[in-house]
Amino acid sequence: MAAEVLLDHEQQYKMLEAEILRFVHKPGDIISESSLCQRFGLSRTPARSLLQRLQSNGLIRIEPKRGSIVTKLNLNVINQLIYERFAVETMVLRDYIAACNPADVERVRFLFYQLKDVAAPYFDDREAFDTSRFLTVDLSMHSEWFRRMNLDYLWQRLSSPQSSYTRFCMLDILSGNNVPDVLEEHGQLLHLIESGNTTDLEPLLRRHLYGGIRRIGSRIYTTYVDYFEPFGGDERAAFKET
C-alpha cells in the first residue's frame, strides 16, 4: 500500500484518533512507531510525536521498550465524566432557558426538526440512515446552548475526545440503538425551552446523559468486556444512575 503522503500532521492525528474512537483500532491493539512510519511515509521522530499526542489524550499508553497499546475504557472514569457533563449542562441549560429570546428558541426548534429529518430513515429505510450525520446534529443542539452562553471553550473541553468517554458514547452510537431515546429526549428538552420550565430539567438531563450506560447495559460485561479495564470494587453501582 502506498504511503498516505498527502496528509499533514494534523490530518494524520485526526485520522488515527477517529480510528481509535470508532474501534478500528480496538482497546489492547498495538500501534507501533514503525507502522506509522510505513503508513504515512514518516521517519520515527514525527511518528513518535503522533503517538505521544495520542497518549496525552488518553487514547494509547506507551510502554517503554514494549510498545504502544490502545487503552481500554474505564467505567469508573466514564461515570465521572458523565457526572461532570450532567452537572455542567444542567446549569448551562438552566441559564440558557433564563436568558434565551424567541429567536434563540427558533434556532433550537430548527435544529430539532433537522434531527427528526435525519432520524426519519432510521424507522423507514434503515439502510439510508446516516449515523454520523445524526450524531453531528445531536451534538449541534447541545453546543447551541453553550455557544449562546459564550461557553464555547467549555463545550469543546467537554466534547473533545479525551479518555474513555467519547469511545463509550461511540459504542452506543455505532449500535444505533440510541436514536429513539435521543429523539424523544431532545424533543422534551425543546419543550422545556419553549415553556421556560426549569424544574423538570435535571431529571430529564440525567436520563439523557446516563442513557448510554442504560442502553449498553450488561453488554459491558459480555459483548464488550474486552474493551473495558477489569472491574474492581463496586463499579456495578454505576447502573443505579447515582
Partner DNA sequence: TTTCGACTGCTTGTATACAAGATATTGACA
Partner DNA sequence: TGTCAATATCTTGTATACAAGCAGTCGAAA
Of 231, 226, 168, 230, the residue nearest 28 (C-alpha): 226
Cβ closest to a copy of itself, residue 82 vs residue 169: 82
221-240 binders of a copy of itself (CB under 8 A):
none
How many Å from the N-terminal Cα to the C-terminal Cα in the chain?
Answer: 49
CA distance 86 to 82: 6
CA distance 228 to 224: 7
Based on the shown chain and the rule CB under 7 A, indicate whether residue 2 belongs to the binding site for DNA.
no
What minimum distance in Å lies between the beta carbon of 96 and a copy of itself?
A: 12
* Binding-site member from 11, 56, 140, 223 for a copy of itself (CB under 8 A): 56
Of 190, 173, 170, 80, the residue nearest 119 (C-alpha): 173
CA distance 90 to 144: 14
What minimum distance in Å lies between the beta carbon of 72 and a copy of itself?
A: 15
* Binding-site member from 67, 187, 203, 217 for DNA (CB under 7 A): 67
CA distance 169 to 148: 25
Cα torsion through 71, 76, 77, 81, rounded to 10? 140
Based on the shown chain and the rule CB under 8 A, indicate whether residue 204 belongs to the binding site for a copy of itself.
no
* Binding-site member from 13, 17, 29, 48 for DNA (CB under 7 A): 48
Cβ closest to a copy of itself, residue 180 vs residue 203: 203
Amino acid at 213: I
Judged by the rule CB under 7 A, the positions of this chain that interact with DNA are 9, 31-35, 42-46, 48-49, 51, 62-68
Judged by the rule CB under 8 A, the positions of this chain that interact with a copy of itself are 45, 49, 52-53, 56-57, 76-77, 80-81, 83-84, 86-88, 90-92, 95, 150-154, 157, 242
